[in-house]
Amino acid sequence: MRYPFFNASSRLVAILLGCLLAHNALAEESTEAAAKQLLTAMMEAMKSLSYQGTVAYMWDDKIETLRVFHAFNDGVEQKRIVALNTPMREVVLNADKLACYFPDARTVLIENHPSRHSFLVNLPEDLDEHMKQYRFSLGGREFILQRQAQIVRIVPKDDFRYKRTFWIDLETKLPLQFELINENGNRVEQMVFTSLSIKDSIPARDLKATTEVDEATWQIRYREPKPAKEQAIEFQWLPDGFRQVLYTQHKMPGSAWPLDHVLLSDGFASVSVYLEKFDGDSVPLNKFTHGGVRTYTKKLGTYQITVMGEVPAKSVRAIGDGIRVHAPEE
């Protein structure tokens, strides 16, 4: 009671501070909701609009120019993406068939009934499920292609994943620019539209593959998922939010043994784990990177394990070190 003024002042300051914090929390929640809403609208726009454009894709210190075509007619999506430079690889989705053409390897990969995801950016359908691992926020507005774009950031809450930034066109909701930023704050991959046209329809010729496949000399591969119970890879530990989404087997050229492949994802990033039996020395791949993709190789008995994905190096190492190999069930 000796300092009633200070007591009253302190209470007032505490109340004001509380109000301010609550206001900030509400504002943060509001901007997070707006960011998620815009990302959801972006996914819908990529699916339901017909458009074509040229995209510059940059990774490490390289640039590739790609043409992208996307049509949406009567609820059916058709897509084609083609590299403008040699070796002119292209990917075409037509109805329920996805085909990837690799003229340099004379190979075409065909997948029936592929999932319906965008050629440009894939995000989980329910962003709320990933709020434990990521924070969504709005940035400022900038002009891309003379269009006003809203910046949206997806920031990881731990250091096992990368940050992502989108520039979303306010009118069409298409992503005009995208960046993948590593744990050091460096941009490791970027895509930016250098031209983009929204169309009423896309000519059929632009949605068809231009690569001619000679079935006599080309290899045609099909991918079929296998039941997880058959896999020999067991994960002792995974970063929070990562789960297994695919197990399959491949035949690698020059190898007598099948290659086991498990795909993991946290909804935004994906990590592949390969298990291959080796007769001789292992082939360490740790030094190889591609944009944000990091690789970790480990020898386990007669097996080599390789972990790669668009996550920091510490993540692929931690996943690799937590792997055990056991005999699959018969």
Partner 1 sequence: MEQNRVIKVSMLLDDELNEEEALSLLEQIESDDGLKEKWFRYNTASLAIKSDSIVVLEADLVDKVRQAIAREPAVFSTPASTGKPSRIYNVFAGALAASVVIVAVIVVKQPADTGGDAATMVADKGVESLLHQAQPAEAKSSEARFHGYLLNHNESAYSMGTLGMLPYARVVSYGAKQQ
Binders in 221-240 for partner 1, by CB under 8 A: 223
Residues 82, 89: Cα–Cα separation, whole Å: 6
| One of 1, 5, 62, 215 touching partner 1 (CB under 8 A) | 62
Residue 175 Cβ, how far from partner 1 at the closest point, in Å? 9
C-beta neighbour count of 67 within 10 angstroms: 16
C-beta neighbour count of 2 within 10 angstroms: 5
Are 153 and 31 in contact by the 8 Å Cβ rule? The answer is: no
Which residues from 166-185 bind partner 1, rule CB under 8 A? 171-172, 178, 180
Residues 274, 59: Cα–Cα separation, whole Å: 23
Single out the segment in contact with partner 1 by CB under 8 A; choices: 19-27, 104-112, 129-137, 321-329. Answer: 104-112
Sign of CA dihedral 109, 110, 113, 118: positive
C-beta neighbour count of 225 within 10 angstroms: 12
Residue 329 Cβ, how far from partner 1 at the closest point, in Å? 23
Single out the segment in contact with partner 1 by CB under 8 A; choices: 3-11, 127-135, 228-236, 281-289. Answer: 281-289
CA geometry: angle 91, 92, 93, nearest 5 deg = 130
Residue 110 Cβ, how far from partner 1 at the closest point, in Å? 11
**Under rule CB under 8 A, residue 107 binds partner 1:** yes
Show the tokens assigned to 131. 């709020």
**Under rule CB under 8 A, residue 84 binds partner 1:** yes
| One of 136, 160, 167, 274 touching partner 1 (CB under 8 A) | 274
Give the distance between the most distant pair of CA atoms in the chain. 98
Q: Cβ-count burial of 55 within 10 angstroms (0-12 exposed, 13-18 middle, 19+ buried)?
A: buried
**Under rule CB under 8 A, residue 83 binds partner 1:** yes
| One of 40, 94, 122, 148 touching partner 1 (CB under 8 A) | 122
Show the tokens assigned to 114. 């592929």
Cα Rg for the chain, rounded, in angstroms?
A: 24
**Under rule CB under 8 A, residue 309 binds partner 1:** yes
Single out the segment in contact with partner 1 by CB under 8 A; choices: 25-33, 127-135, 193-201, 315-323. Answer: 193-201
- Of 31 and 289, nearer to partner 1 (C-beta) is 289
Are 168 and 45 in contact by the 8 Å Cβ rule? The answer is: no
**Under rule CB under 8 A, residue 300 binds partner 1:** no
Q: Per-residue x/- marks for partner 1, 3-32, CB under 8 A?
A: ------------------------------
Show the tokens assigned to 145. 């292609």
| One of 121, 207, 213, 325 touching partner 1 (CB under 8 A) | 121
| One of 37, 197, 210, 302 touching partner 1 (CB under 8 A) | 197
For residue 283, give the nearest of 271, 291, 295, 294 by alpha carbon.
Answer: 295
Residues 307, 154: Cα–Cα separation, whole Å: 24
**Under rule CB under 8 A, residue 145 binds partner 1:** yes
Show the tokens assigned to 279. 């007769």
Single out the segment in contact with partner 1 by CB under 8 A; choices: 31-39, 116-124, 207-215, 313-321. Answer: 116-124
Residue 312 Cβ, how far from partner 1 at the closest point, in Å? 15
